[in-house]
Amino acid sequence: MVQKTNIENLINASVLNNPTFREDINESKFYNIPMDVIRNAENNLYNKKIRSIAYFSMEFGLAPSVYNTYESQTNISEVNKKRDFEIFSNMKQMDYYHLVHVHKLVDMPIYSGGLGVLAGDTLKSSADLKLPMIGIGILWNKGYFDQKFCFHFGQIPGEFSWDPATYPGLIKLNNTIDIEIGDNSVNFYLWKYYVPSFDKKHVVPLLLLDSNHPANEPWAKELTGQLYNSTSVWWKIVQRKILGVGGIRALETLGYAIDLYHLNEGHAAFAFLEKAKGMSDADILGLTQKFAYTCHTPVEAGHDRLPISEMQKVFSPEEIEMAKKYGLDENPNLINLTILAMNASCHVNAVAKKHEEVTKIQFPSHEEKIRGITNGIHIPTWVSTTFENLFNEYNHIFVNWKENPEIFSNISKLQSDIVFRTKLWQAHKQNKKELITLLKQWMVKDDVFTIAWARRAAPYKRPSLVLQQTNKLIEIAKKYGPIQILFAGKAHPNDFVGSDNIKEILNIIDSLGKDRDYLKVLFLENYDTYIAKQLISGVDVWLNNPLPPFEASGTSGMKAILNGVLQLSTMDGWVVEAADKEIGEIFGYIPQQGMIGDENDLKMIEDSSSLYNKLEFMVRDYYNVENIQDEEKKHFSPWIDKMMNCIETSGFFNTSRMVTEYNKNIWHQKPIIN
């Protein structure tokens, strides 16, 4: 029986490769998950009669530091602990004397931002919904990068180190595969990590490829080193070949019976070349029924265009012919992975309604098959403990909210319930206190209006927008009360404009030393899912100011509304669909219907002015709640109405709803019954 051997292999592999796991993994359990649950999930993926999905993604952000951490009997090794980090602020001396201390498992560093977190949340919700799925990705031995700030310079990217072999839950299998890179054959280890459902009754395995194999030459060992290493086009092509071609080979080597290949972004499009090899045209047409593709961005740099001359160094002539046939760009010297993925797939989806519109304008020849499925977030991952407790306390209203977040619409029943409203405000204040404890050396206060901007520092996201006219911020603060602004975010090391934005923010912060009684600004190093969770739940307002329509969806604001945090946002991405929900304020430029515009025309002055207008209302309204003594008035303030609208709205913007939509429109899977 293939199935049984498979589990025994898993146990043997884990114990042979790392005996410290002997306590955690055995015949009856895999950490705190019954081994039968794992066996069942694996068996379903081997069963040809059960429709199963392989979900390919270059990155996965699983956030095990904040959710479903595998508790090992063995201590976490030092190198796998989250590092203390620095802050750059206008409280200068604090920056010199203090670090932020964290004692936590480091997140598996195989993601860079929202794309990866979405992939992680997708696996988690698929596990919750008991779908037969396996994730395919890459074990990035050096993670993404380590960010250090340097005044006058911006961010300094360093190498990130961690140890997969002692990372709880990560198992190196005995199987290996090889992939030809030009004339060389490179060996890959395969690793497995089980993503459990919230109730631990199902798992989605994640399979990760790793070239750090002793049989490989030094250069080949580095191939799965750094995520999005873009020192050369060759490197970019090779990393995409590993994911696409290697992913298919890994699935075949392990014998999985996969019915549908889902490409999360064009990065994985070479999977199609691998499957199509040697097929007739008619068979290839049939093959496209087995592929689906999610397009995540309207931004130019997000679409890979690879020179054929470089691809020839990595792929065989047959593969190049196929790539030309299905993936030729307007420029005949380039292969366009977006085009390849679209041609390969019978289903193409954009990640919000507005993005559907934009994608159809950008790719008119594929218009018919493009559909919008709005992104979401995994509720059990992103709910703060205080809000989780509150929702559980009201579980007669929010029945099974983890499985069925739609139930948050019931919050309207609590509209005039003073006890609930009071508890909601207190829960929020508790979250704020926790965040502030982390930042206590900087004298951040829990009764001061606090707003955060935290995400990838990409130019279209306009990291420095709120700091364009700091005199206006100080005016608002003098009129209504002080303001605290928290920043976090990394720019891709090769994104010079994004890196410049970080430098610009550091410079502006430096100039605000004398204004610190009114305005405190802190920039936190090394944004990751752990910091994200503190920020999305611990601030009063979440700032989202991309240039419309370039934010395909955005997801961090969805994490914030789940925790009752109001939005201050431009009309872009998911927010367009929530514009009438009264979850905060919307400001700024709106492109004409049917127009995309120029992603480099950032409209900084106009949009920062309209940002301050709306911010002024929010600061005023916040202090109306914070400073009121009358309990009744305080808890019936419009601010708390908006917090309740936020929670209600998160009933839609979650991956439980999103995965259900994928399944209904694209995957057509049946949930597993244990």
Least distance from ligand PLP to the Cβ atom of residue 559, Å: 6
Is 450 a residue that touches ligand PLP (CB under 6 A)?
Answer: no
Least distance from ligand PLP to the Cβ atom of residue 458, Å: 8
Is 117 a residue that touches ligand PLP (CB under 6 A)?
Answer: yes
> Residue 269: is it exposed, middle or buried by C-beta count within 10 angstroms (0-12/13-18/19+)?
buried
Contacting residue, 76, 85, 91, 113, with ligand PLP by CB under 6 A: 113
Of 120 and 246, the one with the shorter C-beta distance to ligand PLP is 120
Of 532 and 640, the one with the shorter C-beta distance to ligand PLP is 532
Q: Which of these ranges, 110-118, 231-239, 302-310, 648-656, lies near ligand PLP under the rule CB under 6 A?
A: 110-118
Of 211 and 555, the one with the shorter C-beta distance to ligand PLP is 555
Q: What are the two backbone dihedrals, phi and then psi, of residue 668, each rounded to the nearest 5 degrees?
A: 55, 50
Is 264 a residue that touches ligand PLP (CB under 6 A)?
Answer: no
Count of residues near ligand PLP by CB under 6 A: 13
Least distance from ligand PLP to the Cβ atom of residue 355, Å: 12
Report how far residue 56's alpha carbon sits from residue 115's, in angstroms, rounded to the nearest whole number.
Answer: 12
Of 108 and 532, the one with the shorter C-beta distance to ligand PLP is 532
Residue with tokens 């993601």: 111
Report how far residue 317's alpha carbon sits from residue 330's, in angstroms, rounded to the nearest whole number.
Answer: 21
**Cβ(196)–Cβ(183) below 8 Å:** no
Least distance from ligand PLP to the Cβ atom of residue 138, Å: 18
What burial letters (b/e) apply to 62-85, b meaning 16+ CB within 10 Å? bbbbbbbbbebeeebbeebbbbeb
Dihedral sign computed on CA atoms, order 453, 454, 455, 459: positive
**Cβ(227)–Cβ(110) below 8 Å:** yes
Least distance from ligand PLP to the Cβ atom of residue 655, Å: 12
Is 380 a residue that touches ligand PLP (CB under 6 A)?
Answer: no
- Strand intervals (E) in 197-287: 203-210, 260-264
Is 537 a residue that touches ligand PLP (CB under 6 A)?
Answer: no
Radius of gyration of the chain (CA): 25
Least distance from ligand PLP to the Cβ atom of residue 82, Å: 13
Contacting residue, 556, 570, 650, 663, with ligand PLP by CB under 6 A: 556
Is 527 a residue that touches ligand PLP (CB under 6 A)?
Answer: yes
Q: Which of these ranges, 13-21, 177-185, 551-559, 645-653, lies near ligand PLP under the rule CB under 6 A?
A: 551-559
DSSP letter at 246?
Answer: I
Is 376 a residue that touches ligand PLP (CB under 6 A)?
Answer: no
Is 236 a residue that touches ligand PLP (CB under 6 A)?
Answer: no
> Six-digit token pair at 208?
């990760």
Is 658 a residue that touches ligand PLP (CB under 6 A)?
Answer: no
Contacting residue, 216, 264, 464, 555, with ligand PLP by CB under 6 A: 555
Is 493 a residue that touches ligand PLP (CB under 6 A)?
Answer: no
Contacting residue, 554, 564, 588, 651, with ligand PLP by CB under 6 A: 554
Least distance from ligand PLP to the Cβ atom of residue 554, Å: 4
Is 529 a residue that touches ligand PLP (CB under 6 A)?
Answer: yes
Q: Is 580 left (phi over 0), alpha (psi -120 to 50) or beta?
A: alpha
What burial letters (b/e) apply to 350-364, b meaning 16+ CB within 10 Å? bbbebbbbbbbebbe
Q: What are the two backbone dihedrals, phi and then psi, of residue 139, each rounded to the nearest 5 degrees?
A: -85, 100
Helix (H, G, I), strand (E, B) or coil at 580: coil
Of 140 and 527, the one with the shorter C-beta distance to ligand PLP is 527
Is 642 a residue that touches ligand PLP (CB under 6 A)?
Answer: no
- Residues with Cβ within 8 Å of 238's Cβ and at least 6 positions away in sequence, in order, are 181, 223, 314
Of 450 and 553, the one with the shorter C-beta distance to ligand PLP is 553
Strands 483-488 and 449-454: parallel
Q: Which of these ranges, 151-159, 414-422, 433-441, 522-530, lies near ligand PLP under the rule CB under 6 A?
A: 522-530
Element (H, E) at 465: none
Q: Which residues bind ligand PLP (CB under 6 A)?
A: 113-114, 117, 455-456, 527-529, 532, 554-556, 559
